[in-house]
Amino acid sequence: MDLASAQVIGAGIAAIGIGAASAGVGTVFGSYLQGALRNPGAAAGERIWMFVGFAAAELLGLIAFTVAMIILYAR
């Protein structure tokens, strides 16, 4: 296998991590919505932590994307 095809395959495998991060982001927003619907009074105060959790979950997907890009375009 030459380097170019190995790079493309590797980048595709690295992109799987983005799917995992999407599950994490969905969990964060879904759990917030569940909690907010059960106790709407406490929802506003927890919105900050929802976004912090979203940022943390999303970051891992972005790192997977960055790794894919590095593999794809590294020489």
Give the footprint of another protein on this chain (CB under 8 A).
48, 51-52, 54-55, 58-59, 62-63, 65-66, 73
N-term to C-term CA, the chain:
16
Instruction: Please state the closest distance from residue 34 (CB atom) to another protein, in A.
Output: 20
Smallest Cα–Cα separation from 69: which of 1, 3, 12, 5? 12
CB 29 within 8 A of CB 65: no
Residue 39 half-sphere exposure toward CB, CA atoms < 13 A: 9
Instruction: Please state the closest distance from residue 36 (CB atom) to another protein, in A.
Output: 17
Among residues 10 and 46, whose Cβ is nearest to another protein?
46
Instruction: Please state the closest distance from residue 28 (CB atom) to another protein, in A.
Output: 12
